[in-house]
Amino acid sequence: MRPGALAAFVLISASLVGGSGLAAATRPLPSKHAKSGLSCYDCHHQENPTQAAVPEDSCMVCHGDPVAMAAYTRHLPVNPHDPPKKAGHPGPFSCTECHHQHRAPEVKCLECHADFKLKAPL
């Protein structure tokens, strides 16, 4: 490989690697997680994730398993962490279906039950 081509390859590679880190840096952590001292790696299991999904067990390390979350939200008029266990009813859903850390949360229940008074926290 010619020296000029090698230098160009190195510069392009460095800019691509640097760009992926920059993409992660432009997606700030929500304040509750940031105040707890978490980093991208704690949830994504990658240093500079760009599109990496958060594994379900990452949430459970701090927030508990689905049974614990159902107990935590049992006081709500409709418990989003304890969906009905009847044929044809969707769920249970993964944590990240409602709780998005880098964009507004959504409540999957509201797709069918618009009258429910539920709001997903970050």
Instruction: Give the pLDDT of residue 92.
Output: 87
pTM: 0.67
Same domain, 46 and 76: no
69 and 29 in a common domain = no
Q: Which residues contact 108 (CB under 8 A, 6 or more apart)?
A: 80, 90, 91, 93, 97, 98
Confidence of residue 104 (pLDDT cuts 50, 70, 90): confident
The stretch 92-106 carries a mean pLDDT of: 87
For position 8, what pLDDT does the model report? Answer: 41
What is the pLDDT averaged over residues 13-21?
A: 38
> Domain boundary at 52, 71, 92, which?
52
CATH of the domain at 72: 1.10.1130.10
Closest CA to 92 of 65, 63, 53: 65
Domain range spanning residue 18?
1-52
Among the listed residues 58, 59, 48, 62, the one whose alpha carbon sits nearest the alpha carbon of residue 17: 48
Same domain, 73 and 46: no
Judgement on whether residues 38 and 78 belong to the same structural domain of the protein: no
Confidence of residue 46 (pLDDT cuts 50, 70, 90): confident
Same domain? For 60 and 46 the reply is no
Examine the domain organization and report whether 88 and 118 are in the same domain: yes
Lowest model confidence (mean pLDDT) among 3-12, 51-60, 84-93: 3-12
Q: How many domains does the chain have?
A: 2
Task: Give pLDDT, residue 87.
Answer: 92
Q: Which residues contact 29 (CB under 8 A, 6 or more apart)?
A: 38, 39, 40, 101
Same domain, 65 and 109: yes
Do 116 and 80 share a structural domain? yes
Mean pLDDT across the chain = 77
